[in-house]
């Protein structure tokens, strides 16, 4: 077989079927576990091979069969991306879909009746698709080599009613220590800030205060992103040393993911007889943990599949069938949130002592529910004024969290749990400056930083009073405070500081912005004076 014969033997249909999936992984290699691509990759390549086999069985030549399969792969896997690119030009909906399918049909028909020798075309398609796939494989492979822990993670464990033994913190039988609940409401900003900038009036913090919570109405998140914020809070530290170790140009967030999954605060409690209960979110970083004893997980634990499906032709076809939004990322967010709310009471009934961590991806966008918890489709969302979108989802979150807290406090006072409600960051102002498709955080003004960093936190500290907290205490000190008060940990409180990473994909390129934020009364040498 000559070199020309070898390069013209059709393999491009397999490579083209694999490329969109591999590209999505490689372009998000610091945020997506490569394992998530295995099933869709196997399905896509398997379908391509099956179609090729059917056409060959029908008597179509190998090169023409491969060409038809490649065209169908492009039509199926890339329509969503094409639709997104041309939408600003006014092309969308059924006319665009029809034109796309007609173009593909025309190409297939022309090729079917053409007597052209496809050796040269096949060779070009083979080489081109091999180069594209090669670049993605090198990118993914480099990440796996440099970050071998990317394939590690907790395994989901069904809620089975088991729990840690009833022991005191020193391991002796007796009255169990109090359960601890940690709620993260993603993007839930301080009421003052969201009222000022978004015209939204959240009621949750006022309601919690009326229920006996100690509420810090005005404090600041330590970082503006979820991954950085949770890494800091759960490990009770700032990320200066982590940033210095990995360098400001390093795009990989896997070290931060491991900090969240194997957090120091969780290990502290497990060493003292607590079981770790993680109610998995639809965000893969807070979906599972190797430390979790009980870990119910939503069926889809990241937006990888949502983004992949939305880049294909499937949502448009399903929409024509009248099944609105069923394959979209916004529908996944809605279903995951409702699943978490339904599952949480089961976890609260588990025996203690237990530490329960719940990360709700609301009220962070997309705005997928109305005030009563009904699903809001993309079309319905487009018809709502922006302020109504914010208000509806915020009102839903307020009501649902209030109900969960009422359930936790329904028993006798002596069994009341310790509860920490601390958002990871505030919302982002509409109309932020852009650099290409990304927000230009380096150009954000003080008002925009005020909104994204201003949060309110609520603490239920049974047996203690409000003097345990101080105005402006940030989340980096949340577990330090609780461990000092209830476990005599002797951990010094840290200065309350806020850091901004200005470039997308550079999580360790951090700039302190504490002095640009409104004074919240935080003290760098503050100490608490109450005892349990």
Q: What percent of the chain has pLDDT over 90?
A: 55
Of the candidate ranges 45-49, 234-238, 387-391, 445-449, the one whose mean pLDDT is the lowest: 387-391
Task: Identify the CATH homologous superfamily for domain 179-516.
Answer: Alkaline Phosphatase, subunit A (3.40.720.10)
- Cα–Cα distance for residue pair 232/221, rounded to 1 Å: 10
pLDDT of residue 321: 66
Is 368:334 a contact under the CB 8 Å cutoff?
yes
Cα-Cα-Cα-Cα dihedral sign, residues 148, 283, 480, 267: negative
Q: What local confidence, expressed as pLDDT, does residue 401 receive?
A: 96
pTM: 0.81
Q: Which of 297-301, 305-309, 364-368 has the lowest mean pLDDT?
A: 297-301
pLDDT digits (tens, 9 = 90+) for 411-461: 888 899 999 999 999 999 888 888 777 888 989 999 999 999 999 999 999
Instruction: Express as a percent the part of the chain with pLDDT over 70.
Output: 87
What are the pLDDT digits (tens) for 150-169?
Answer: 444 433 333 443 334 334 44
Q: Is the pLDDT of residue 175 over 60?
A: no
Mean pLDDT confidence for 42-65: 92
pLDDT at 171 over 80: no
Averaged pLDDT, 197-216 = 94
pLDDT, tens digit (0-9, with 9 covering 90-100), for 329-351: 788 889 999 999 999 999 999 99
333: left (phi over 0), alpha (psi -120 to 50) or beta: alpha
Which structure tokens are listed for 339? 């699943």
Identify the H or E element spanning 481.
helix 478-487
pLDDT band at 98 (very low <50, low <70, confident <90, very high): confident
Given pLDDT bands bounded at 50, 70 and 90, which one contains residue 508?
very high
**Reported confidence tier of residue 292, pLDDT bands at 50, 70, 90:** very high
Distance CA 475, CA 473 (A): 7
Sequence-ordered list of residues with C-beta below 8 angstroms from that of 86, at least 6 positions apart, any chain: 92, 96
| Confidence check: pLDDT of 269 > 90 | yes
Q: What is the pLDDT of residue 157?
A: 37
Q: Encode 122-176 in three state secondary structure.
A: HHHHHHHHHHHHHHHHHHHHHHHHHCHHHHCCCCCECCCCCCCCCECCCCCECCC
pLDDT score for 8: 72
- Whole-number pLDDT of residue 167: 42
Cα–Cα dist 296/301, whole Å: 11
DSSP code of 178?
P
Q: If pLDDT is split at 50, 70 and 90, which confidence band does 521 have?
A: low
Terminal C-alpha separation, the chain: 83
Element (H, E) at 242: helix 240-246
Each residue's pLDDT tens digit, 477-496: 999 999 999 999 999 999 99
Over residues 104-112, mean pLDDT:
83
d(CA 232, CA 245): 15
pLDDT of residue 304: 79
pLDDT digits (tens, 9 = 90+) for 209-224: 999 999 999 899 999 9
pLDDT at 421: 97
Whether pLDDT at 173 is above 60: no
94 confidence band (pLDDT: 50, 70, 90) = confident
Least confident range of 43-57, 72-86, 284-298: 72-86
Q: Which two tokens stand for residue 470?
A: 């101080």
For residue 221, what are the CA distances in angstroms to 32, 214, 434, 496? 25, 18, 23, 9
* Residue of 355, 359, 469 whose CA lies nearest to 421: 359
Q: Whole-angstrom Cα distance, residue 89 to residue 489?
A: 61
Which pLDDT score is estimated for 134? Answer: 93
Mean pLDDT value across residues 122-138: 92
Q: What pLDDT score does 380 carry? A: 85
Residue 264 clears pLDDT 50, i.e. is over it: yes
Domains of the chain by residue range: 3-149, 179-516
């Amino acid at each position: 077989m000559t070199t020309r014969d070898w390069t013209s033997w059709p393999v491009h249909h397999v490579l083209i079927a694999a490329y969109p999936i591999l590209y999505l992984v490689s372009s998000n290699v610091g945020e997506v576990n490569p394992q998530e691509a295995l099933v869709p990759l196997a399905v896509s390549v398997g379908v391509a091979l099956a179609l090729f086999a059917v056409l060959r069985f029908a008597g179509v030549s190998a090169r023409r069969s491969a060409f038809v399969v490649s065209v169908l792969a492009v039509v199926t896997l890339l329509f969503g991306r094409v639709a997104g690119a041309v939408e600003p030009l006014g092309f969308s909906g059924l006319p665009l879909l029809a034109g796309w399918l007609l173009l593909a049909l025309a190409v297939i028909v022309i090729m079917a009746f053409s007597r052209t020798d496809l050796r040269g075309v096949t060779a070009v398609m083979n080489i081109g698709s091999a180069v594209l796939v090669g670049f993605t494989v090198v990118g993914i492979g480099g990440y796996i080599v440099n970050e071998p822990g990317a394939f590690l993670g907790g395994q989901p464990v069904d809620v089975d009613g088991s729990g840690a033994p009833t022991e005191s913190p020193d391991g002796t039988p007796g009255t169990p220590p109090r359960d601890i609940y940690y709620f993260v409401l993603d993007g839930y900003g301080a009421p003052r800030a969201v009222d000022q900038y978004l015209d939204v009036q959240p009621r949750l913090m006022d309601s919690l205060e009326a229920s006996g919570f100690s509420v810090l109405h005005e404090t600041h998140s330590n970082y503006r992103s979820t991954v950085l914020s949770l890494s800091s809070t759960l490990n009770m530290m700032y990320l200066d040393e982590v940033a210095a170790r990995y360098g400001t140009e390093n795009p990989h967030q896997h070290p931060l993911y491991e900090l969240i999954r194997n957090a120091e605060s969780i290990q502290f409690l497990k060493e003292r007889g607590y079981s770790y209960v993680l109610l998995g979110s639809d965000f893969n970083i807070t979906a599972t943990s190797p430390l979790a004893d009980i870990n119910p997980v939503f069926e889809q634990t990241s937006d990888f599949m949502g983004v992949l499906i939305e880049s294909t032709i499937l949502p448009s076809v399903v929409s024509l069938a009248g099944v609105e939004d069923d394959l979209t990322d916004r529908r996944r967010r809605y279903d995951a949130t409702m699943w978490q709310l339904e599952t949480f009471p089961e976890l609260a009934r588990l025996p203690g002592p237990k530490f329960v961590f719940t990360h709700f991806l609301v009220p962070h966008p997309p705005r997928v529910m109305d005030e009563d918890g009904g699903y809001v489709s993309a079309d319905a969302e487009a018809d709502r004024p922006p302020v109504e979108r914010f208000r509806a989802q915020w009102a839903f979150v307020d009501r649902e969290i209030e109900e969960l807290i009422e359930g936790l406090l329904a028993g006798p006072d002596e069994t009341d749990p310790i509860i920490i409600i601390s958002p990871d960051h505030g919302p982002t102002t509409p109309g932020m400056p852009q650099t290409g498709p990304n927000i230009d955080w380096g150009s954000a003004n003080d008002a925009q930083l005020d909104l994204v960093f201003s949060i309110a936190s609520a603490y239920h500290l049974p047996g203690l009073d409000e003097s345990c907290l101080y105005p402006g205490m940030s989340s980096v000190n949340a577990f330090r405070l609780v461990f000092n008060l209830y476990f005599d940990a002797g951990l010094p409180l840290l200065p309350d500081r806020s850091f901004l990473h200005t470039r997308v994909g550079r999580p360790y390129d951090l700039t302190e912005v504490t002095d640009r934020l409104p004074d919240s009364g935080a003290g760098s040498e503050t100490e608490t004076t109450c005892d349990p």
